[in-house]
Structure 1
């Protein structure tokens, strides 16, 4: 079983913000693989289904970004999922808008949601898919990640979310190395 977690903030107020690209990727995967992400447990909205022959759980923590690790830890402990089968998809200010980067493991960088997950799991050896949201020029970082994409950025971010869903499907069905070779171009 794979646990695929998209990071974001719950509620209509945050819908469509830069910080919620992880949630949007989970929504797209749910739609594509007919998995309803509508159950509430583990401090997350989640749904179970299949991608290819693999059983998956799609999750959207409802703890707000900075406490995402509480939800992820609860899911991992409950389902006894090996850490290398936990895939996290989230926004990254260090990548330009629409760029994608897959890694097998690594630090949280500046991302508070990832800091929370690594802190709670006490491990960083899990795959992650980072979606570039750009870096603010003068705007406060917190305000920037909670802002919406400009009209000129919307096409690139929509394509990046679609590509991230494809990359996650590849991780699940073909393995992380193959997915990295395909999508880290």
Structure 2
């Protein structure tokens, strides 16, 4: 199961905080998604890449409560935490970089905190999409909820494409290969 984090609604579409949603939308094309359905509080779709069946999901609760829909979907599909991949924005990574890892904390990310709380574990895969820190004294909330403009928009598009490739590598080649290719 591959979950992209974001906030529902047009006002949040294509903001930095919705890097997970944007990546999932791109990933859907790669895995042959034909339609989305509302299920367990999320938009969900089935697809396949090579010999791997996948379920893609975009929780439709707000970021801070995304753990509920994730847990419900995992229960509905019989997916264990070690078969979960969560794609999310990451302030502490440069805006052109992607990192993959297994386990870890939430680093103040409320979507990750919600998933950790609902699953009762921190042991699942993450594809971290770099959005960088806000410039100057701009508040973090204003940065993450803004849409990148001009060349930053191109960089955002690029990093989401890179996150798709990292996710596909993770599900077909494993964590070590993915980290060697994308974490350096």
- TM interval, shorter chain, is over 0.9
- 8 A Cα contact 1:37 1:58, kept in partner: no
> Which segments of 5 or more consecutive residues in structure 1 lack a partner in the other structure?
none
Query: Aligned equivalents of 2:49 and 2:18: distance in 1?
Result: 22
* TM-score, length-scaled by structure 2: 0.95
RMSD of aligned Cα (Å): 1.1
Render the CA deviation track for 1:118-162: whole Å, top value 9, x for unaligned: 010011110101111111231222222111113121222211111
- 8 A Cα contact 2:41 2:61, kept in partner: yes
* TM-score, length-scaled by structure 1: 0.95
How do 1:97-136 and structure 2 match up within 5 A?
97-136=95-134
Query: Aligned equivalents of 1:57 and 1:121: distance in 2?
Result: 18
Structure 1 residue ranges (4+ consecutive) displaced by more than 4 angstroms after TM superposition = none
How do 1:16-27 and structure 2 match up within 5 A?
16-27=14-25
- 8 A Cα contact 1:27 1:37, kept in partner: no
Aligned residues: 183
- 8 A Cα contact 2:36 2:44, kept in partner: yes
| Counterpart position of 2:7 | 9
TM-superposed deviation, 1:11: 1.0
| Matching of residue 177 in structure 1 with residue 172 in structure 2 | no
> Which segments of 5 or more consecutive residues in structure 2 lack a partner in the other structure?
none
| Counterpart position of 1:72 | 70
| Counterpart position of 1:143 | 142
- 8 A Cα contact 1:61 1:71, kept in partner: yes
| Matching of residue 157 in structure 1 with residue 156 in structure 2 | yes
Query: Aligned equivalents of 2:58 and 2:34: distance in 1?
Result: 12
TM-superposed deviation, 1:37: 5.1
